[in-house]
Amino acid sequence: MAIATPPNPAAAERMERLELIWESRPGILGWLTTTDHKRIGLLYFWTTLALFGAGGAEALLIRTQLAQPNQHVVSPQTFDELFTMHGITMIFFFIIPMTTGAFGNYLLPLLLGARDMAFPRMNALSYWIFLASAVFIYTSLFIGKAPDAGWFNYVPLASKKYDPGHNIDFYCLGIIFNSIASTLTAGQFIVTILKSRAPGMSLNRMPLFCYAMLAASFGLLFALPSLSADTIFLFLDRNVGTHFFDPSHGGSTLLWQHLFWIFGHPEVYILIVPAFGIATSIIPAFTQRRLVAFPLVAIAELLVVFIGFGVWAHHMYTVGMPTVSMVFFAAATAMVIIPSTIQVFAWCMSFVTGLPTFRTPLLFIAGFIFMFVTGGLTGIMFVAIPFDQQVTDTYFVIAHFHYIIFGAAVFPIFGGMYYWFPKVTGKLYFERPGQISFWLIFLGTNLLFFPMHIVGLLGMTRRVYTYPSGIGWTAYNLAETIGGFVTLGGILVLLGNLAVSYFRGPPSGPDPWRGPTLEWTTSSPPPEYDFAVIPRVTSAYPNWDPADREADRLKLADGVLMLERGHEQPEVTPVDGRLARVAHMPHESPWPAVLALALALLFTMLLIDRWGTAGIMGIVCLLALVGWHMQEPEEE
Amino acid sequence: MKGPRRDRRFAFLVLGVVPLAGCGGSQDSLAPHSHQARDIANLFWWMMGGAWIGLALVVGLLVWSYKRRKRRGFGDDVEGDKPGEKRSWYAVLGLGIAMPIVVISTLFVISDLFVIKTTQAPASTTTRLTVKVIGHQWWWEVRYPGTNAVTANELHIPVRTPVRVEVTTADVIHSFWVPELNKKVDTIPGQTNVVELDADQPGRYRGQCAEFCGLQHAHMAMYVFADEPSAFRRWLSREEKPAQSPSGGLAADGERLFLNGPCSSCHAIRGTDADGFVGPDLTHVASRTTLAAVTIPNDRDSLRNWIVDSQHVKPGNLMPNFSVSGHKLDALVAYLEGLK
């Protein structure tokens, strides 16, 4: 039983006071100035969903162009812009912000037993910067100057000499801009996870979802500087006349590739580890069993990101590295497989020994395991350097990483959308169309991506805007295109189902699944203060500890640990989760949105070479920061 | 191990699809025609066999969980919210740690200590011929060091002879890849990479640029012709010779047009004043089977169309459309067709 209804008038009064302290301003101004993690999570959700639509439309245009040989649906230039924007969008503007920004923001405090993120205004800033960077980079597509050298953007193709327009400047500035948002998210996630847990939630009692977010945040924090350095170097090469990547002046073209993949491979794990977190939330709920080998899985989630930092050069086996370097990176690539296999079999054994009810969320997780294992097995093949050198830059690789990125990252996102839909809306989704949407997406993606393995082995290279007939590739390409549209159908059924459920769905109550973690102890949708009483936690599955929940109810009746006197939340020691102090939280603020707007203008001025105006905008940013800190809440 | 052909049939049976006969040539990494490509293909078949077993194991576990969805845990261990935990741990330790360590170590040793040696770049002492291939946006320049021969997009090598191919670039990064003969190597500015070609049967092998290199990356293919050694020597000695000036008629008009017009600022024809280096060397262009990096066949209509409308055939390529027609066009085409 959740604490949704106050047990006595005194408790009702205290909850009313909490409501007054935590509620946002009404109307649009409330959304612009909000620091509520749930509102920011929803803003992230709607923005990334729209960008998912854009990235998906780009993908379908690519597939339409390639459905038959020698077609002219789009021009070669448009095709290059489409596949570049597809990659950038799905990686930087959909999966990372969807899993961390939307799922992470909405759910982390709810799973940790907190009332907000550790730095709510920094959180708001990350969203507004993210939104501005998305608008910035999509402007390029609408003025016909979208990045066109691939998301990997290799030099010298991306240098001023071979790409003189503003296309690549949009890329450099857009990526740097977006990285600021991701860095802000990552930094405050780490602090939130380590400091803002409910007292009693020591690290070994922390839900696996939070471990996954912790791993992804550390990954982002350490990987992004490499990408930022790379894009800044390129921007300087293009606009100031430096020679970082120009071998004729002592630079190196491979420097770009190394810096890019030092970011780029950890990035792959950053994309999928939060999805592992979603999976490890859904599996216990729908098998009614604690996840098998909890400590091993927690360590594996962290290890996969850590080892992921040592494998980058396996993207570069064909550039002519010494054999000994390649063998080193192949060994690291082999090692990173172990934490993944640990998790796969822990998930599977939880299915086997629990009582799985194959409702839509668990179906998506079963589909996710299938896709992840398929993509993982072709990933293991890349340990074999000669085979990697044969199939790299072919459709075989596209098949491999779409099984990982669509199968292993997006399937859990869909599963998570169904799983937490009742929590966010207070309504139940409809089960039958949910299952239909799963099967359409599952069959569609396999028809879309499996033939790519074959056509890649048959020699079809990546990033070609067309291909000749009579070479044995046509039928597979047509099948892939059909699969793409079946997948689209499935996604439309999913979104339609959720939309109809929002208006017509039966009320869900606080805990429709008998979920294991703290978010299911509060009402659906959760109140602005998340929890009326700071919950008591003695295990990683607190909602399955009836004694603790009974204790919370007594505390609510007696008004203990409600912190209803101010805008407050407890802070704990990072490892043991002992109460350290009660922190005063900042209120809503317009400054994050103002600062993001000033930054957007700064980046626009850099783009159009108005260095002076850019400097002025830099000063405006500093002034915004001053304004921000003038409102810093008083310490008691 | 089985021969490549039998392997291939087996493969498509396993993949559950029927191979489509190609008539435009194939660049099928599973139809190897050299010992390197065969080693890589065999490596793949073994890995794919293992991959299907691994996938079957996981799918089996999921199906099993569905069949026993009403039963918790194992044996007596059915109570609490961690039923069957002990045996599940054994399964995770065994299948999730021990098994992959054994399987992946084996794969690592076989592929990265042994197979890698056979596909490695050869020392120049072990090969009998060196060919230089230079990637351009969007075509391949081919040179035979020690001779005057320069050609484009169609690389001839002697069969059953290890050939050292040194790849470089004139502009951006490309990747030289003839999958039926060997792995790919990138062309990196300021760096020379090497790959060995050693075809075991005479024939024509299709290759293609594998690294995205701009607008016409899709139309940057090449053919490798593996000829009998005697035929190769004949081809090379002909290719070395300068072009013969036409003795008169239409072709002689064409030569004048070529040398005095814009053509010669980008193209070279050895034996004449034309020494451009932006586009392919045309000294023996008529001896090649295709034009524009294996984009169109080398016949009269395609050649005419290429001269006047190359931007339609290969949009964005560095050759502009030329508004020549009538006698002038006939003359140019006649001249180029004579460059055997």
- Can you tell me the ipTM of this complex? 0.93
Backbone angles phi, psi at B190, to 5 degrees: 75, 15
A617: distance to nearest CA of chain B, Å? 35
The whole-number pLDDT of residue B123 equals 75
A387: distance to nearest CA of chain B, Å? 6
Mean pLDDT, residues A469-490 taken together: 96
Window 528-547 of A: residues touching B by CB (8 A cutoff) are: 541, 544
Mean pLDDT, residues A166-192 taken together: 96
Mean pLDDT, residues B25-31 taken together: 90
Confidence check: pLDDT of B273 > 50: yes
DSSP string covering B72-131: -SBTTB--TTSTTHHHHHHHHHIIIIIHHHHHHHHHHHIIIIIIHHHHSPPPTTT-SEEE
**Mutate which of A458, A460, A539 to disrupt the B interface (most B C-beta within 10 Å)?**
A458
Cβ contact, residue pair A471, B206, below 8 Å: yes
Tally C-beta pairs within 8 A across A and B. Answer: 283
Phi-psi domain of A569 (left: phi exceeds 0; alpha: psi -120 through 50; beta: other): beta
Chain B residue at shortest CA distance from A353? B73
Confidence check: pLDDT of B230 > 60: yes
Mean pLDDT, residues A595-609 taken together: 94
Six-digit token string for A388: 């990697």
Q: Which residues in chain B are closer than 8 Å to A399, comparing Cβ atoms? A: none
Q: Please check whether residue B46 touches A, CB under 8 A.
A: no
Q: Which residues in chain A are closer than 8 Å to B27, comparing Cβ atoms? A: 458-459, 471
Cβ contact, residue pair A353, B72, below 8 Å: yes
Nearest to A76 among B88, B186, B215 (CB): B215
Residue closest to A213 by CA, chosen among A316, A77, A110, A346: A110
The whole-number pLDDT of residue A56 equals 97
Q: Please check whether residue A462 touches B, CB under 8 A.
A: yes
Q: Which of A355-359, B33-37, B56-60, B117-121 has the lowest mean pLDDT?
A: B117-121
Please tell me whether residue A174 adopts helix, strand or coil conformation. helix
Confidence check: pLDDT of B10 > 70: no
B144: distance to nearest CA of chain A, Å? 22
Q: Which residues in chain A are closer than 8 Å to B189, comparing Cβ atoms? A: 156, 247-248, 253
Chain B residue at shortest CA distance from A395? B210
Q: Which residues in chain B are closer than 8 Å to A251, comparing Cβ atoms? A: none
B258: distance to nearest CA of chain A, Å? 28
List, for residues A495-535, the tens digit of each pLDDT value.
Answer: 999 999 999 999 999 999 999 999 999 999 999 999 999 99
The whole-number pLDDT of residue A2 equals 47
**Mutate which of A461, A467, A478, A541 to disrupt the B interface (most B C-beta within 10 Å)?**
A461
DSSP string covering A582-616: EEEPP---SHHHHHHHHHHHHHHHHHTT-HHHHHH
List, for residues A24-66, the tens digit of each pLDDT value.
Answer: 888 899 999 999 999 999 999 999 999 999 999 999 999 999 9
Confidence check: pLDDT of A169 > 70: yes
Mean pLDDT, residues B38-60 taken together: 97
Cβ contact, residue pair A290, B186, below 8 Å: no
Question: Alpha helices, DSSP H only, in A67-119?
Answer: 76-88, 96, 105-112
Confidence check: pLDDT of B6 > 50: no
**Mutate which of B188, B192, B205, B312 to disrupt the A interface (most A C-beta within 10 Å)?**
B188
Nearest to A459 among B20, B26, B214 (CB): B26
Residue B321 CA: distances (Å) to CA of A70, A344, B302, B304, B328 = 21, 58, 14, 11, 15
The whole-number pLDDT of residue A635 equals 47
Instruction: Compare B50 and B247 and report the one with higher pLDDT.
Output: B50
Phi-psi domain of B199 (left: phi exceeds 0; alpha: psi -120 through 50; beta: other): beta
Cβ contact, residue pair B115, A386, below 8 Å: yes
Cβ contact, residue pair B65, A352, below 8 Å: yes
Window 142-181 of A: residues touching B by CB (8 A cutoff) are: 149-150, 154, 156-157, 162
Task: List Cβ neighbours of A353 (8 Å cut-off, separation of 6 or more).
Answer: A287, A289, A292, B72, B73, B74, B83, B84, B85, B87, B88
pLDDT band at A3 (very low <50, low <70, confident <90, very high): low
Residue closest to A113 by CA, chosen among A530, A631, A524: A530
The whole-number pLDDT of residue B21 equals 34
The whole-number pLDDT of residue A4 equals 60
Q: CA–CA separation, B52 vs B74, rounded Å?
A: 27
Window 392-411 of A: residues touching B by CB (8 A cutoff) are: 392-394
Phi-psi domain of A144 (left: phi exceeds 0; alpha: psi -120 through 50; beta: other): left
pLDDT band at B23 (very low <50, low <70, confident <90, very high): very low
Nearest to B29 among A290, A292, A390 (CB): A390
Cβ contact, residue pair B212, A354, below 8 Å: no
Q: CA–CA separation, A43 vs A419, rounded Å?
A: 19
* Torsional sign, CA A556, A557, A560, A563: positive
List, for residues A123-133, the tens digit of each pLDDT value.
Answer: 999 999 999 99
Cβ contact, residue pair B81, A393, below 8 Å: no
Residue indicated by tokens 């190597």:
B185
Residue A360 CA: distances (Å) to CA of A408, A434, A486, A549 = 16, 6, 18, 28
List, for residues A553-577, the tens digit of each pLDDT value.
Answer: 999 998 888 888 888 999 999 999 9
The whole-number pLDDT of residue B3 equals 40
**Average pLDDT, whole number, for chain A?**
94
A109: distance to nearest CA of chain B, Å? 25
Q: Please check whether residue B211 touches A, CB under 8 A.
A: yes
Cβ contact, residue pair A459, B206, below 8 Å: yes
Mean pLDDT, residues B9-23 taken together: 41
Nearest to B208 among A355, A385, A461 (CB): A461
Half-sphere exposure of A310 (CA within 13 A, CB side): 16
The whole-number pLDDT of residue A633 equals 55
Window 65-94 of B: residues touching A by CB (8 A cutoff) are: 65-66, 68-74, 81-85, 87-89, 91-92
Window 298-327 of B: residues touching A by CB (8 A cutoff) are: 315-316
Cβ contact, residue pair B92, A330, below 8 Å: no
Window 122-161 of B: residues touching A by CB (8 A cutoff) are: 137
Nearest to A355 among B26, B62, B72 (CB): B72
The whole-number pLDDT of residue A5 equals 74
pLDDT band at B24 (very low <50, low <70, confident <90, very high): very low
Nearest to B91 among A345, A389, A470 (CB): A345
Q: Please check whether residue A82 touches B, CB under 8 A.
A: no
The whole-number pLDDT of residue B125 equals 78
Six-digit token string for B18: 């029927």
Nearest to A319 among B72, B137, B186 (CB): B186
Backbone angles phi, psi at A384, to 5 degrees: -80, 100
Q: Are A151 and A88 in contact (CB under 8 A)?
A: yes
Confidence check: pLDDT of B13 > 60: no
Q: Please check whether residue B97 touches A, CB under 8 A.
A: yes
Cβ contact, residue pair A386, B211, below 8 Å: no
Neighbours of A478 (CB within 10 A): 16
Q: Which residues in chain A are closer than 8 Å to B216, comparing Cβ atoms? A: 76
pLDDT band at A1 (very low <50, low <70, confident <90, very high): very low
